[in-house]
Amino acid sequence: MPDSPLATLLLQTAFIGDVILATALVEHLALHAPHAPLDVLVRRGNEGLLAGNPHIRRVLVWDKKSRKYPNLLRLLGQIRRERYGQVVTLQRFASTGFLTAFSGAPVRAGFAENPFSRFFTRRVPHVIGDGTHEVTRNLRLLTEAVCAPALPRPRLYPTLADEGAAAPYAAVGEYVCLAPTSVWFTKQYPEEKWLELLAALPASLPVYLLGGPPDAAACERLAQAAARPGLVNLSGKLSLLASAALMRGAVLNYVNDSAPLHLCSATDAPVCTIFCSTVPAFGFGPLSTFSRIVEHPGPLACRPCGLHGHARCPLGHFRCAREIETPQLLAVLAEARAWRAAAN
């Protein structure tokens, strides 16, 4: 009887969007190595994103908030006992580089910028700013034969419970979802600009505000200020996967350069992404079939002002966001409606 294929472990312990983008590698491995077991390591709090994924055997969890480094050493022991054939870190940070380097796996892959990359058997440069998408950068850790037109999309698998939670809101027919917040101030379209958009959207169109529990207060403030019929604040009330299921059925989703953008990519939901201080060339743009980007008409000499954004505009004017106008966003809605009508 032939030996069972050795398992692969993918490590991505960063933020929600990073884990979502990592699922493109899950899809790639499911297609090209369907019989090899696949495990994924994430930080505590992100494991729910991978619930229901049929291609993942096991989700390992690193608790980074309590006993961070003792937990890291415990994980290393668990990884070594598993005897993985391949361990791949999608991060450039020392912690997951350490786990990869000393995993005992015959194949240890990661980015050359990782402090532990000298111990990897496969090292790949990570270059930001040339327009290469993060999915492509990650995929190069597995294979040199990366073909842009055939790139796998990230994919999430909402459970029946998630679909059920979203269903009552999706039953209204045509609707729009709006995810107005971001961890970084300069990646977030300003509240007064969202209010302008909400006032300009067709009055008959239901609008759902989405976000996690930390976003609930900001979304409620927006909802109260808008005082718009048919506007429902669902921030903190739906799981990430239930939110993804709801976004999938929307005629359009308005999002920042933030995690909800990647929820759309992973469910092929129609999306309009507003880039403020960051730029699509960083490689984190939308991947949905209907994807549109709205940004400052430019040129603007100070943009981009950083990779991740800032707590405030370094120059104080925040022109990259404030000079994006409502008609730019409404034009995308008109296009999305026409695209949907043609598809049906």
86-102: average pLDDT: 97
DSSP class of residue 125? -
- Where helices occur in the chain by DSSP H, the ranges are 16-32, 68-82, 94-101, 134-139, 160-170, 191-200, 216-226, 240-248, 259-267, 319-322, 326-343
Phi, psi of 11 (to 5 degrees): -115, 120
- Single out the residue of 157, 170, 277, 308 nearest to residue 232, CA to CA: 170
Residues 42 and 135 in one domain: yes
Domains in the chain: how many in total? 2
149 inside domain:
no
Residues 139 and 234 in one domain: no
- Single out the residue of 183, 191, 247 nearest to residue 219, CA to CA: 191
Percent of the chain with pLDDT over 70: 97
Region of poorest pLDDT, from 19-23, 32-36, 115-119: 32-36
2 inside domain:
no
Residues 187 and 334 in one domain: yes
Rg of the chain (C-alpha set): 21
User: Residue 217 has which token pair?
Assistant: 């207060």
- With contact defined as beta carbons under 8 Å apart, do 204 and 176 qualify? no
User: Distance (Å, rounded) from C-alpha 233 to C-alpha 102?
Assistant: 46
78 inside domain:
yes
Residues 337 and 274 in one domain: yes
Q: What is the pLDDT of residue 343?
A: 87
- With contact defined as beta carbons under 8 Å apart, do 301 and 317 qualify? no
234 inside domain:
yes
34-60: average pLDDT: 95
C-alpha pair distances (Å), 220 with each of 73, 153, 207, 246:
42, 33, 13, 19
Residues 181 and 322 in one domain: yes
177-189: average pLDDT: 95
> Last residue of a domain, which of 143, 170, 201?
143
Average pLDDT, the chain: 94
CATH number for the domain spanning 217: value is 3.40.50.2000
282-298: average pLDDT: 95
Residues 310 and 197 in one domain: yes
Residues 31 and 169 in one domain: no
> Last residue of a domain, which of 109, 143, 177?
143
Dihedral sign for Cα atoms in the order 277, 281, 282, 284? positive
In the three-class reduction of DSSP (H, G, I as helix; E, B as strand; rest coil), residue 304 is classed as coil
- With contact defined as beta carbons under 8 Å apart, do 288 and 272 qualify? no
Residues 100 and 197 in one domain: no
- With contact defined as beta carbons under 8 Å apart, do 238 and 208 qualify? no
- Single out the residue of 295, 320, 294, 293 nearest to residue 305, CA to CA: 320
Q: Which residue matches tokens 């959207």?
A: 201
Q: What is the pLDDT of residues 9-32, one digit of tens each?
A: 999 999 999 999 999 999 999 998
Residues 193 and 89 in one domain: no
Residues 188 and 325 in one domain: yes
181 inside domain:
yes
76 inside domain:
yes
User: Distance (Å, rounded) from C-alpha 175 to C-alpha 264?
Assistant: 15
Residues 170 and 137 in one domain: no
User: Distance (Å, rounded) from C-alpha 30 to C-alpha 32?
Assistant: 6
pLDDT exceeds cutoff 80 at 1:
no
Beta-bridge partners for 320: none
Q: Rounding to the nearest 10 degrees, give the CA dihedral for residues 96, 97, 102, 103.
A: 50
If pLDDT is split at 50, 70 and 90, which confidence band does 151 have? confident
286 inside domain:
yes
Residues 275 and 308 in one domain: yes
- Whole domain around residue 57: which residue ranges? 8-143
pLDDT exceeds cutoff 50 at 121:
yes
Angle (deg, nearest 10), helices 68-82 and 94-101? 30
> Last residue of a domain, which of 110, 143, 176?
143
Q: Which residue matches tokens 């598993």?
A: 82
150 inside domain:
no
User: Distance (Å, rounded) from C-alpha 321 to C-alpha 185?
Assistant: 10
- Single out the residue of 167, 162, 129 nearest to residue 307, CA to CA: 129
Q: What is the pLDDT of residues 213-253, one digit of tens each?
A: 999 999 999 999 998 999 999 999 999 999 999 999 999 99
